[in-house]
A and B are shown apart, each in its own frame.
Chain A
């Protein structure tokens, strides 16, 4: 089931197309002074891309004022947000992922990963035993594969640096 697309959604869509257009403009601008052999593919394809996004921008604008005709044929993407694919739900998971990233920076992978797995599972109502087993397995995986087999040199965690320097 698809939700009705409102004007706010349409504006958001235009902003994204505008962003892509800007990417093309910046990419072309930056390559302007490069030698031909480094930039030729960027000029040719980037030019075509810019034309395509400008056209898309026009189409997006038109759709504010009129309902777009239903397009037939296959689509590789769900065209509209799904039910439950809500703004808050997205913000929630974004915060979790960025949180994971920050914790990795602070304490490093081997601690951050089991911590994240445990916290996420428990926060959304997993049973204690499941959460503990899951974080244990994830730690075992990191330790077994990365420490013991690959001997990975992890980037020094920020907290570690803070306390040792």
Chain B
């Protein structure tokens, strides 16, 4: 294995490969900024170019380089302007944007990149350590297990609702209902589509995210007529953000591990990891009053997980040829074009190629973090710019991001509708994160519940992993309550 690791590293460390990787990282970072135009679009554009290459290492360097870093740079828009740059940085908004409003954008950004860097290291390490058990583990997770995992995700609604649990629950369910819009393949029923073909394929997640987070914050900013940062006297905080990450090292490690494991389970998808990590942080950390109002841990947790998950998502792709998402599906296509055949041999005789992917993830991550760190100070100044320069830019970003979903004007209509919903929710104190989580999990939850029932009847409830995971779900619901009671009792005792 060590031999394969060195072999893979040497393959990546040639001048051409490094040049390719740097190019990939630059491209990936730029598109990471742009909402809507994420990794998949870029990879699809690169595909014809890649197909003319012959050296597998170069292809790995370029494509994995692009794919690895999108989540790092997307923190910029999430934190600075409350617009999710990609599917992996949605949870970052919850605490990142309030930090920017407090004038601590530089701190939030540097913490996010440091967490990304460490997550990008830990992900591959976790994977290498678990290589021997990955195949059997992936194989033991079927629809019932995935359903319980999505259920676990949904219980996080309780965490994300804060002190308004009833509204949070309703918002989460609205999210699931939004996810049911469109043609239902398993029954041929058109659900809530009002005979409008635009709705047949469902509402794009990115439009919902832009509408309920992006626009309402633009509006608040525009009607406040100040800069994003409400106060300017808190210093730059760049170094503090880095220290924050190390101060919360244990959280970083936990969330990186969550990311790596969510990543390699091919049934969950890329937009879940950051939510899982964020909710985990809120559930387990002490002194949680500040979550949602600008707690640095709320930035560190999702950013550590969304980078470590990248490494994980390559395992099912390489070991079984089963891509976990659109990005990995496109990379798989390119791999086949240059003669890399995914399959069990990727973990045995062709382990060096797997390692080349892992090394690319690590090195690309370092490059991306270096670039982002260098850009942090100048970009963080955006928070201090007058509103009339920031508002139109954000508005245009959001409109273009929404338009990129299907390239039709209906995308903009959908955006405006969800903007109104987000605006009203914000105005009347309805928590928005549960709604987004509902949309993220809705389709998967329904699919896996249906498949579990269709395939196993009620027997699936007795599968060992299901019981174990259900236990964890209950535990994650009960533990915070017990913990809080104990803390309160301690406070009373000391008072």
Which of A's residues lie within 8 Å of B, judged by CB?
Answer: 12-13, 16-17, 19-20, 23-24, 27, 30-31, 34-35, 37-42, 45-46, 48-49, 52-53, 55-56, 59, 71-82, 84-86, 88-90, 92-94, 96-98, 100-101, 104-105, 109, 113, 116-117, 120-121, 123-126, 130, 134, 138, 142, 145-146, 149-150, 152-155
Task: Give me 8 other A-B pairs in contact (C-beta within 8 A), A42-B191, A76-B432, A121-B388 excluded.
Answer: A46-B177, A52-B170, A75-B292, A77-B429, A88-B223, A113-B396, A134-B393, A146-B400
Q: B317 within 8 Å of A by Cβ?
A: no
Q: Which B328-351 residues have a C-beta within 8 angstroms of A?
A: none
Asked whether, in the complex, the Cβ of B408 is within 8 Å of the Cβ of A155, the reply is: yes
Q: Is the pair B396, A74 in contact by a Cβ cutoff of 8 Å?
A: no
Collect the chain A residues with CB atoms within 8 Å of residue B164's CB. 71, 75, 77
Known: A74-B290, A74-B292, A76-B160. A31 touches B191 (CB 8 A): yes
Asked whether B424 is an interface residue with its Cβ less than 8 Å from the other chain, the reply is yes
CA distance A39 to B192 in the complex (A): 11
Cα–Cα distance between A155 and B446 once the two chains are bound (Å)? 34
A-B contact pairs, 15 of them (CB 8 A): A13-B428, A37-B450, A38-B186, A41-B180, A52-B170, A77-B429, A77-B431, A84-B225, A90-B219, A117-B392, A121-B392, A130-B389, A145-B37, A149-B45, A150-B45
Decide: B445 and A150 in contact? CB cutoff 8 A.
no
Interface string of B393-410 (1 = CB under 8 A from A): 101100110010001110
CB distance from B423 to the nearest CB of A (A): 8
Q: Considering the chains assembled together, what is the distance between the CA atoms of A71 and B165 in angstroms? A: 11
Q: Judge whether B223 and A86 touch: CB under 8 Å.
A: yes
Instruction: Judge whether B223 and A85 touch: CB under 8 Å.
Output: yes
How far, in whole Å, are A145 and B339 apart by their CA atoms in the complex? 31
Alpha-carbon distance between A85 and B187 when the two chains are bound, in angstroms: 46
CB of B407 within 8 A of CB of A100, answer no
* B289: chain A residues within 8 A (beta carbon): 73-74
How near does chain A come to B442, taking the closest CB pair, in angstroms? 8
Max chain A C-beta neighbours (<10 A), residue from B187, B400, B409, B416: B409
Query: How many angstroms from the CA of A44 to the CA of B91 in the assembled complex?
Result: 27
| B residues less than 8 Å from A40 (CB atoms) | 449-450
Residue pair A74, B389 in contact (C-beta under 8 Å): no
A145 smallest CB distance to B (angstroms): 7
| CB-defined contacts of A101 to chain B, threshold 8 Å | 399, 412, 416
Q: How far is the CA of A34 from the CA of B428 in the complex (A)?
A: 33
Report yes or no: A41 in contact with B446, Cβ–Cβ below 8 A: yes
A134 touches B173 (CB 8 A): no
Shortest distance between the CB of B429 and any CB in chain A (Å): 4
User: Which residues of B have CB within 8 Å of A49?
Assistant: 169-170, 173-174, 177
**A84 CB to closest chain B CB, in angstroms?**
4
| B162 close to chain A: CB less than 8 A | yes
| A89–B161 touching, CB < 8 Å | no
Residues of A within 8 A of B412 (CB): 101, 104
Residue-by-residue, is B158-183 near A (CB-CB < 8 Å gives 1, otherwise 0)?
A: 00111110110110011011001000
Contacts of A142 in B (CB 8 A): 400
Structural contact, B173 and A74, CB atoms closer than 8 A: no
A85 touches B224 (CB 8 A): yes
Nearest chain B residue, comparing its CB with the CB of A60: B428
Among A56, A93, A150, A154, the residue within 8 A (CB) of B41 is A150
Instruction: Evaluate contact between A152 and B407: CB separation under 8 angstroms.
Output: yes
Task: Verify if B220 is at the interface (C-beta below 8 Å from A).
Answer: yes
B418 located at the interface, meaning its Cβ lies under 8 Å from any Cβ of chain A in the complex: no
Chain B residues touching A, majority SS: helix
Residues in chain B near residue A145, CB distance under 8 A:
34, 37
Whether the Cβ atoms of B162 and A74 lie closer than 8 Å is: yes
**Assembled-state Cα–Cα distance A49/B157 (Å):** 13
As a 0/1 sequence over residues 358 to 390 of chain B, the CB contacts with chain A under 8 angstroms (1 = contact) are 000000000000000000000000000011110
Question: Judging by beta carbons under 8 Å apart, are A34 and B222 in contact?
Answer: no
Whether B88 sits at the interface, judged by CB under 8 Å, is no
Closest residue on chain A to residue B95 by CB atoms: A76
Residues from chain A with Cβ under 8 Å of B454 in the complex: 37
User: Which chain B positions have C-beta within 8 A of A77?
Assistant: 162, 164, 292, 425-426, 429-432
How many angstroms between the C-alpha atoms of A20 and B432 in the bound complex?
A: 14
Chain B nearest Cβ from A31, distance in angstroms = 7
CA distance A81 to B212 in the complex (A): 16
Among residues of A, the one whose C-beta sits closest to the C-beta of B432 is A77
Report A-chain residues with C-beta under 8 Å of the C-beta of B177: 23, 27, 42, 45-46, 49
Contact mask B414-458 → A, CB, 8 Å, 1/0?
Answer: 001001000111111111110000000000011001100010000
Q: Is the C-beta of B184 less than 8 angstroms from some C-beta in chain A?
A: yes
Closest 5 CB pairs of A and B: A89-B223, A49-B173, A124-B388, A93-B222, A76-B292
Whether B223 contacts A45 by the Cβ 8 Å rule is: no
Contacts of B392 in A (CB 8 A): 116-117, 120-121, 134, 138
With A74-B290, A74-B292 as given contacts, are A117 and B169 in contact (CB-CB < 8 Å)?
no
Q: How far is the CA of A38 from the CA of B450 in the complex (A)?
A: 9
Residue of B nearest to A31 (CB): B191
Residues of B within 8 A of A117 (CB): 392-393, 396
Q: Is B140 an interface residue (CB 8 A)?
A: no
CA distance A55 to B170 in the complex (A): 10
In the complex, what residues of A have CB within 8 A of residue B180's CB?
41-42
| Cβ contacts under 8 Å, B94 to chain A | 76
Taking a contact as CB atoms under 8 Å apart, the answer to whether B416 and A105 are in contact is: no
Q: Across the interface, do B393 and A12 meet the contact criterion of CB distance under 8 Å?
A: no
What distance in Å separates the Cβ of B59 from its nearest Cβ neighbour in chain A?
Answer: 20
- The residue that B224 contacts in the complex, of A38, A82, A138, with Cβ under 8 A, is A82
Smallest CB-CB separation from A70: which chain B residue?
Answer: B163
Residues from chain B with a CB closer than 8 A to the CB of A20 are: 170, 174, 430
Select from chain A the residue with minimum beta-carbon distance to B396: A113
Q: Does residue B291 face the partner (Cβ distance < 8 Å to A)?
A: yes
Complex: how many Å from CA A90 to CA B225? Answer: 11
Min CB distance B281 to A, Å, is 12
With CB as the reference atom, state the residue of chain A lying closest to B226.
A84
Inside 8 A of A73's CB, which chain B residues have their CB?
A: 162-163, 289
